[in-house]
Structure 1
């Protein structure tokens, strides 16, 4: 049996897939990979199923040793990755042999790194998912620890060398623009505040994690008063009394009582989740149909493309 044995898990490493479905009414967060684009490409490189579990590493600092031959893929935040001390590039297939040491240095500019293994990671499944939500403190569902074994769920045939084309990789270095789909409470906000929200530049606050990102900038002057607590969708933008936006992410609470001008699409939430404190962010109004079409195209591309023989491009089936 081949596996990766963790020597050092870094700041925090958790097993994530695409998250839970149908359990929010029980008070359980959706969980799942924050950066959907990087997560999916790590699996796509290895021909893994769309929902295969992989490792989400926060800020790097990861070290593991291969036992047996393994194929892996690493995507997400840019940092130095090395096998036996020799630097290797991310966003491609990496072949590990028995005894190889994998190190992922700390990322200085972005937050999330994804490590997938051929066949997907084998871990306990609960509520239809292998995703770990640390704050729920469910037994046996915590972060990866030193000494843990990362075991493939099922053996897979060896895949040839592949590299994600540059134009398919998310550009994390530009100012992050996150789209805002107006919600049903949008009319309750004053027009001047909506203009302020969509023309101002915000910075990511220190109090940002898998539950949500607090943004800091020019506050909305007259946000609506609190509302009766109601269900919350992933990506909801809450405006508390201080007028500073909070974008709720995968591990957010299931109900809340702050008014919300709208929702950020999932793909844009991933771009936001990659940002470190102090990074600049701005909102841009978006039509619902446009966001839906982009997500639909993203999913169709995953399911209906295959790698060319060169391993450098994909072709539609």
Structure 2
């Protein structure tokens, strides 16, 4: 009772909501780059919110089902097909034994999420199955391996499929590339001109971007600080290294760092950012902590009410 991996694609990883409580020993959290899409995948199937899913980056993944089940696909549109028939994200589908599920190159967005009824069966490492390739932890093997041809993604067979879809208003607009930023405590070390440049400039997503962080190319900005003592790194922290090009640190970020930080993208903003491809252009917009909390509460309330 499993999906057999026929083609592994560019980067397909087993993820749950992350490995928390271990940053003091240098282990990052991991988890889904687009948390909103991940949570909706499990909600569509009435799964626990932390059930493991597959994060599919850029597509090219092909799976063959060995037993009946229900799946949900959320996040980017990776031109998915079920037995060569096109299917769209943000809804559930019935899977029969022998069905072939395939993902192609992105139509829009970058990362799709595949959830299965009851979640994929994996052995946790330090309380989580989240795959962090750089740290060689999590995933099917426990060693941080991405999916490979011949891997077996186990699940519990399920026959009572229910067709569901995410309400249109709850589906994120990945085309809205204004990323909200909460100002950081080192914000004052940037002059008023540098701040204005940061929030009024377009930044292009560099090809040198990954799950650790998104490197951006555009207007240089510089802090008055020559350097800082290494300190803990929060999700979404926007580091400004010596070359003045911002780096947004995401799920697989290092646990400490010593560059000045102008602010921090929100979880919702980070989900939108994670769906941008190299070459896409974004802008940053400042918001308050209260606004960020309201945005988060609204998103979670939609999920709770829908469930």
Aligned equivalent of 1:42: 41
Question: What is the TM-score with the length of structure 2 in the denominator?
Answer: 0.94
5+ long unaligned stretches in structure 1:
307-317
Task: State the Cα RMSD in Å.
Answer: 1.5
Distance 2:144 2:58 in 1: 20
Deviation at 1:158, TM superposition (A): 2.7
Q: What SS class does the counterpart of residue 110 from structure 1 fall into? A: strand
Aligned equivalent of 1:32: 31
Aligned equivalent of 2:77: 78
Aligned equivalent of 2:303: 302
Q: What SS class does the counterpart of residue 77 from structure 2 fall into? A: coil
Deviation at 1:250, TM superposition (A): 0.4
Q: What SS class does the counterpart of residue 206 from structure 1 fall into? A: coil
Contact 1:202 1:281 in 2 (8 A): yes
Aligned equivalent of 2:150: 147
Deviation at 1:168, TM superposition (A): 1.3
1:63-119 Cα offsets, whole Å, 9 max, x none, are 011111011111111132111111122211111111111111111543101100000
Distance 2:224 2:179 in 1: 20
Deviation at 1:163, TM superposition (A): 1.3
Correspondences of 1:286-297 after superposition (within 5 Å): 286-297=287-298
Contact 1:198 1:284 in 2 (8 A): yes
Contact 1:3 1:70 in 2 (8 A): no
Question: What is the TM-score with the length of structure 1 in the denominator?
Answer: 0.92
5+ long unaligned stretches in structure 2:
none
Aligned equivalent of 2:250: 249
Aligned equivalent of 2:181: 180
- Does 2:164 match 1:165? no
Contact 1:109 1:276 in 2 (8 A): no
1:7-26 Cα offsets, whole Å, 9 max, x none, are 01100100001111111111
**May I ask how many residue pairs the two structures share in their alignment?**
303
Q: Which moved more, 1:288-297 or 1:34-43?
A: 288-297
Aligned equivalent of 1:94: 93
